[in-house]
């Protein structure tokens, strides 16, 4: 069912493509090749069939029986439940200030926001941020590796695949709940399944982005990579990194590490003022 994650991330992926003029920090050198494309295309075709047969109809039914307000508060709830993933990885990345902000956001929305169904933290200047263990590996210098499509999971890379077992087992409360409970009909997995349905339902609005594209596989691949690049660079990927990702040039961008350090120092000074 995690194939639906690709669609839910399309809009953010397209936002990343629009950031060509922005400069910021650099992490690990991105990869532009797709050496496993033959395998990936077969898995992609399988995932599309499963999505059309089961996942998308479920998401459509969910949208029919819920109002936009109901979908919004449920999305707020799941975003809040998964906040420990971001908090833990901010700490692992050495972003202590961001980890503290994330903790404040989690506490406020869990209490004042009634378990996260509402989002008063954003009104208190604690906006939502997102990171994961794959971003942690990137900031530790681990390269992206080849692009990979997995059955029922969808787009990932040789590096990004590790965020699923690590975040899911160590930091995700829903993962912990499903491992420590056992109910009839597998009810311990229902929260995770509902989360995936909400993701797929939100992606329906973005489906028109792929209509008429010459090669949907390439569209999804590039959208995924662009979205990940956007996340790794905190929304400010450097022009050179996007060029590398798109295959415009193959120059080594490791020398931009100094720019990352300078950027972080300047950001810390600005936050201090």
Measuring CA to CA, how many Å separate 71 from each of 5, 65, 68, 139, 197?
A: 17, 10, 5, 34, 11
Name 90's Cβ contacts closer than 8 Å, sequence gap at least 6.
96, 98, 99, 102, 129, 131
- The SS3 call for residue 157 is strand
Residue 32: predicted pLDDT? 56
- pLDDT tens across 95-141, in order? 999 999 999 999 999 999 999 999 999 999 999 999 999 999 999 99
Q: Which residues contact 233 (CB under 8 A, 6 or more apart)?
A: 24, 25, 26, 27, 241
| Model pLDDT, residue 210 | 79
pLDDT of residue 21: 30
CA atoms within 13 A on the CB side of 164: 12
| Confidence at residue 13, expressed as pLDDT on a 0 to 100 scale | 44
CA distance 231 to 7: 16
* Mean pLDDT taken over the chain: 83
For 133, the token pair is 């263990």
pLDDT at 261: 57
Spatial separation of the C-alpha atoms in residues 1 and 48, rounded to whole Å: 11
pTM of the complete model: 0.77
pLDDT one-digit tens code per residue, 203-249:
998 888 877 778 899 889 988 998 898 888 877 777 777 766 665 44
- pLDDT at residue 240, as a whole number: 74
3-state helix, strand, coil in the chain (%, to 5): 65, 5, 30
HSE-CB of 9 using CA atoms within 13 angstroms: 26
């Amino acid at each position: 069912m995690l194939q639906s994650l690709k669609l839910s991330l399309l809009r953010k992926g397209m936002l990343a493509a629009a950031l060509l003029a922005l400069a910021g920090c650099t992490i690990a050198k991105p990869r532009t090749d797709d050496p496993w494309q033959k395998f990936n295309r077969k898995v992609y075709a399988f995932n599309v069939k499963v999505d059309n047969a089961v996942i998308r109809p479920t998401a459509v039914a969910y949208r029919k029986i819920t109002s936009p307000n109901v979908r919004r508060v449920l999305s707020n709830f799941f975003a809040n439940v998964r906040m420990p993933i971001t908090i833990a990885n901010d700490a692992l990345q050495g972003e202590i200030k961001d980890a503290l902000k994330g903790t404040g956001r989690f506490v406020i929305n869990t209490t004042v926001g009634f378990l996260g169904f509402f989002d008063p933290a954003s009104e208190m200047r604690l906006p939502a941020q997102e990171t994961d263990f794959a971003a942690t590996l990137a900031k530790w210098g681990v390269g992206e590796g080849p692009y990979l499509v997995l059955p029922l999971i969808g787009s990932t890379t040789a590096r990004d695949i590790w965020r699923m077992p690590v975040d899911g087992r160590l930091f995700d409360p829903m993962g912990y709940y499903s491992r420590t409970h056992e109910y009839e009909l597998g009810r311990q997995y229902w929260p995770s399944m509902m989360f995936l349905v909400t993701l797929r339902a939100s992606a329906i609005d973005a489906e028109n982005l792929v209509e008429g594209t010459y090669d949907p596989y390439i569209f999804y691949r590039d959208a995924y990579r662009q979205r990940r690049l956007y996340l790794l660079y905190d929304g400010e990927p450097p022009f050179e990194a996007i060029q590398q990702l798109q295959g415009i040039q193959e120059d080594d961008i490791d020398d931009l590490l100094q720019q990352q350090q300078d950027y972080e120092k300047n950001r810390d000074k600005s936050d201090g003022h």
